[in-house]
Amino acid sequence: MQLLTLLTPKNMSNFDSVVVGGGLIGASIAYGLARSGQRVAMFDEVDNAIRAARGNFGLIWVQGKGANNPYYATWTRQSAKQWPDFSRELKELTGIDLAFEQNGGFDFCLNEVEFADRQIIMEKMTVDSDDEFSYEMLNNSQLKQVLPNIGPAVIGASFSKWDGHVNPLYLLKALHKAFKQLGGKLYINPITDLQHQGKAFQVSTATTNYACEKVILAAGFSNKTLAPKVGLNVPVYPQRGEILVTEKVKPFLHHPTGYVRQTQDGGLLLGDSHEDVGFDEGTNINEIQQIAKRAITIFPYLDSVKIIRAWSSLRILTRDGLPIYDHSESCPGAYALSSHSGVTLAAVHALDVASCIAKGDSLSPSLTCFSAKRFDV
């Protein structure tokens, strides 16, 4: 800390770590760093900024994740295992109940080809995990016993006990609250520049400079422009997803699914569209119709349920769908993080990644394969 104090002019605040971005990844890391005793500042943008953290579906989803990358599958399961304690810890600290449930999820298949393909994927995940991962394939009549409202057009579904869901807005709120309770400072002021100076960093907003030993880039799409300033590369692109919300109905769906989930207050979220429309956050009536149609095919009962709201949000994607975790070689102490599973991975981000960063270590060797260097080839 001595070096940092020397570098820090009198009018400049200094911190052990600065986290750029207060979305799901930034807030998870900032909370984890504060929990490790670090003096942390988190910088975020104003309410109307582009932010996946406030527009997502809230799944803690394991089945299918990492089917082609066993490291990603293991990492996802590690997070799912830590979720029960993680949500309990946040509730104890903040009083916010995240509406977390982990009683297994269904992924529906609407034709025989989908069903056969799904079984291959699930089997591969089981073999790759040395049987730690498990699943069941259910046909329509088996599904009916668990989900009596299932439609006849659903051929079947995969079920995995590992899947769960949470209210993602409560998660974000709890992370921010817990972070502040542990002494973290939140600034609603975007970072405009970063400089590596000796063994420290100067992080700047339009009005103020801050000094820190470590800087963690978790700024969604802004990582792309900020990362090169500290010798990193974060090639991410937007993919739009739309979500519909229905009126509240009597609880009938007690498990999360890939397309439909019922929240604790009875409303249903319908989703899973994928559109390549750049940074356009508008909604598209054709997509809305497709989402609604598929939901009615799965649960015909929904035909009479009203949709009350729809929104779109942009996924922060890499070309291979895997996360980016990097520690800069040219500017040690600078990290960049990006993932399109910020809800699912919140537990490992807060507990595992943050504690490596707090110690000033490189990220765990099992995360090396998620370096953006893989895109240099």
Ligand X SMILES: Cc1cc2nc3c(=O)[nH]c(=O)nc-3n(C[C@H](O)[C@H](O)[C@H](O)COP(=O)(O)OP(=O)(O)OC[C@H]3O[C@@H](n4cnc5c(N)ncnc54)[C@H](O)[C@@H]3O)c2cc1C
In the complex with ligand X, which residue's Cβ is closer, 76 or 328? 76
Q: Which is nearer to ligand X, 52 or 143 (CB)?
A: 52
Q: What is the 3-state secondary structure (H, E, C) of the chain?
A: CHHHHHHCCCCCEEEEEEEECCCHHHHHHHHHHHHCCCCEEEEECCCCCCCHHHCCCCEECCCCCCCCCHHHHHHHHHHHHHHHHHHHHHHHHHCCCCCCECCCEEEEECCHHHHHHHHHHHHHHHHHCCCCCCCEEEEHHHHHHHCCCCCCCCCEEEEECCCEECCHHHHHHHHHHHHHHCCCEEEECCCCEEEEECCEEEEECCCCEEEEEEEEECCHHHHHHHHHHHCCCCCCEEEEEEEEEECCCCCCCCCCECCEEECCCCCEEECCCCECCCCCCCCCHHHHHHHHHHHHHHCHHHHHCCEEEEEEEEEEECCCCCCEEEECCCCCCEEEEECCCCCCCHHHHHHHHHHHHHCCCCCCHHHHHHCHHHHCC
Give the span between the Cα atoms of 154 and 141, in whole angstroms.
10
The token duo for 296 is 């009615």
* Interface with ligand X, residue 107, by CB under 6 A: no
Q: How far is the CB of 49 from ligand X (least distance, A)?
A: 4
349: contact with ligand X by CB under 6 A? no
Identified binder of ligand X from the candidate list 219, 227, 292, 310, rule CB under 6 A: 219
Q: Is 256 an interacting residue with respect to ligand X (CB under 6 A)?
A: no
Candidate list 343, 347, 356, 358; residue touching ligand X; CB under 6 A: 343
- Nearest approach in angstroms of CB 219 to ligand X is 4
Asked if 52 interacts with ligand X (CB under 6 A), we say yes
Chosen residue from 4, 15, 16, 22 binding ligand X by CB under 6 A: 22
Q: How far is the CB of 179 from ligand X (least distance, A)?
A: 13
> Is 79 an interacting residue with respect to ligand X (CB under 6 A)?
no
Q: How far is the CB of 55 from ligand X (least distance, A)?
A: 5
Q: In this complex, which beta carbon is closest to ligand X, that of residue 52 or of residue 125?
A: 52
CB nearer to ligand X: pick between 8 and 338: 338
Tokens of 244: 């519909």
Does 26 participate in binding ligand X (rule CB under 6 A)? yes
Please report whether residue 339 would count as binding ligand X according to CB under 6 A.
yes
| 246 touching ligand X, by CB under 6 A | no
Q: Name the one range near ligand X by CB under 6 A: 20-28, 120-128, 324-332, 357-365.
A: 20-28
CA 219 to chain centre: 13
Q: Which of these, 104, 165, 93, 218, lies nearest to 343 by C-alpha position?
A: 165
Q: In this chain, which of 82, 94, 202, 222 binds ligand X, going by CB under 6 A?
A: 222
Segment interacting with ligand X, rule: CB under 6 A, options 24-32, 65-73, 91-99, 294-302: 24-32
Q: Determine the interface stretch with ligand X among 30-38, 42-50, 352-360, 367-375 (rule: CB under 6 A).
A: 42-50
Nearer to ligand X, 156 or 220 (CB): 220
Counting contacts by CB under 6 A, is residue 151 touching ligand X? no
Q: How far is the CB of 239 from ligand X (least distance, A)?
A: 8
Smallest gap from Cβ 59 to ligand X, in A, equals: 3
Is residue 105 within 8 Å of 272, Cβ to Cβ? no
Residues in contact with ligand X by CB under 6 A are: 20-26, 43-45, 49, 51-53, 55-59, 61, 190-191, 218-220, 222, 241, 243, 313-316, 338-344
